[in-house]
Amino acid sequence: MVSKRGGIRHVEINVSNFEKSKAFYQDFLEWLGYKQVVGGKDFAGWENGEAGIFVTYLGRYKELGFHRHRVGLNHIAFQAESRADVDRFHSEFLVPRKIKVLYGGPKEYPEYRKGYYAVYFEDPDRIKLEFVH
């Protein structure tokens, strides 16, 4: 691992249905080039050489649910190599899997900055994810 002071080392996501979320994140993260590095009965993790994403099941909290408009996480953004990479992810990954795409699909968001091009989507717990160039 390359050490970058202040860089994000990993993110851990608590989920309400471990098997469903593990399958989603395994498919998604492996598409991005992450490799699974740990797995157990209610915990799994993937890394790409710079950052890790871990999914864990905490049954005692599952009834509370998640919503990005409450205090806490709003979304997680993953870097794309190009606009074409965003479009390919949409057409080759999201559409065939019938994953809920937000805001009409891939498009430019000039209100964020010039050339900002992204697609937003949700995981099984409705945690918003973004693939952006």
Q: Is 78 contained in some domain?
A: yes
Q: Are residues 82 and 129 in the same domain?
A: yes
Q: Are residues 78 and 125 in the same domain?
A: yes
Size of the chain in residues: 133
Q: Are residues 133 and 77 in the same domain?
A: yes
| Cα radius of gyration (the chain) | 15
Say how far residue 123 (Cα) sits from the centre of its chain.
7
Structural domain count, the chain: 2
Q: Is 77 contained in some domain?
A: yes
Q: Is 33 contained in some domain?
A: yes
Q: Are residues 39 and 90 in the same domain?
A: no
Q: Are residues 53 and 109 in the same domain?
A: no
Q: How far apart are CA 127 and CA 76, in angstroms?
A: 8
In this structure, what CATH number is given to the domain that contains residue 22?
3.10.180.10
Question: Which residue intervals of 41-133 are DSSP H helices?
Answer: 83-89
Q: Are residues 45 and 78 in the same domain?
A: no
Q: Are residues 131 and 80 in the same domain?
A: yes
Residues paired with 46 in a beta bridge:
36, 53
Query: Coil, strand, or helix at residue 119?
Result: strand
**Smallest Cα–Cα separation from 106: which of 95, 96, 118?**
118
Residue 71 pLDDT? 55
**How confident is the prediction along the chain (133 residues), in pLDDT tens digits per residue?**
455 677 788 999 988 889 999 999 999 999 999 999 999 999 999 999 999 999 998 776 666 666 666 656 788 999 999 999 999 999 999 999 999 999 999 999 999 999 999 999 999 988 999 999 9
Q: Are residues 127 and 82 in the same domain?
A: yes
Which domain range does residue 114 map to?
73-133
Residue 6 pLDDT? 76
